[in-house]
Amino acid sequence: MIITLIGARPQFVKAAVVSKAFIEKGIPETIVHSGQHYDERMSQIFWEELGIPQPRYNLNIGSGSHAVQTAGMMTGLESIINNLNETPKAVLLYGDTNTTVAGSLVASKLHIPVIHIEAGLRSFNRTMPEEINRVVTDHLSDLLFCPSESAVRQLATEGIVSNVHNVGDVMYDSFLTFSTLAKKINPVISGIDIGAAFTLLTLHRPSNTDSKEQLSKILTSLGALPTRIIWPVHPRNRGHIRELTLPPNVTITEPFSYFQMLLVLEKCHSVITDSGGLQKEAYWAKKPCITLREETEWTETLEGGWNQLAPPADSNLLNAYKTHPGLPWKPLYGDGKASDKIAGIIAGRYYR
């Protein structure tokens, strides 16, 4: 069997299409949920919407420091693997979360092959915990699936050249599949008007939200923009926001389900975010995006000005908002069939 370890919203979205491809290829999979996202709207509703096979195990880790989370995941996953009736063929991991690095450390120490989806991405900012997680995981992985040729080249500069595959981005598979489905379902979004022009905002990185001063600066910048802003607030940030004054053009709401997010993305005229995944989804939806960071691991989205980096400061954000894409849109990150390619390679490697 393949053990898939997931624990955060973007990983649920990616697992939905890859697990479906596994079923079609006859690859046995055991899903372990780390519990990193433990809020129901951040977790369980995704299973219900996306049709992901229910996890066989849930580590129920919840919140905590990076060390507490990672240690709890490692202990829990090691116990599960040691008590299985058979040794897994591999442990499959997505992205760059604490869940990801915990899985890579446990599997490698138990001499179980590690499969990493979204390998080769780099922001080159070691102050970001995600950068540490992705670098460590890549260097412990036995099979690496990259979303772009630049990711393949980056791995080569680090000496990783064996079993590296450019398959495209599985999140593009999910975007194509579920955007169509979201339009058919047309999920209800209560309490906000998505018929009039607005900008979609998401904000969750600790560097932007854990400091009251930094968050206040971002809100001031947002208040200077000539646009209505809709902000689905991550549960961990609710307390911070209560201590600050929202600009009149910013409306906060509960977190969206994935289908709701896709519908809101289709209706908005632009996106402001510090997320990794939403940068790509905005690009695929052909919406101009401003990323509230000094760097991005998705460098291809910057070409032509479809995505702009704007470290949170009044002038940066306002100037970026006034700038429009300068080049035509072009496809990025594969052809929407990454999950099928991944399942085919895994089937050929482990289930001949």
CA angle in degrees (0–180, nearest 5) for 145-147-153: 80
d(CA 16, CA 13): 5
Find the catalytic residue in 66, 111, 165, 204. Answer: 204
What is the 3-class SS of the chain, one letter each residue?
CEEEEECCHHHHHHHHHHHHHHHHHCCCEEEEECCCCCCHHHCHHHHHHHCCCCCCEECCCCCCCHHHHHHHHHHHHHHHHHCCCCCCCEEEEECCCHHHHHHHHHHHHCCCCEEEECCCCCCCCCCCHHHHHHHHHHHHCCEEEECCHHHHHHHHHCCCCCCEEECCCHHHHHHHHHHHHHHHHCCCCCCCCCCCCCEEEECCCHHHHCCHHHHHHHHHHHHCCCCCEEEECCHHHHHHHHCCCCCCCEEEECCCCHHHHHHHHHHCCEEEECCCHHHHHHHHCCCCEEECCCCCCCHHHHHHHCEEECCCCHHHHHHHHHCCCCCCCCCCCCCCCHHHHHHHHHHHHHCC
CB 348 within 8 Å of CB 316: no
The CB density around residue 162, as the number of other CB atoms within 10 Å, is 9
Catalytic annotation on 204? yes
* Residues annotated as catalytic (active site), given as ranges: 204
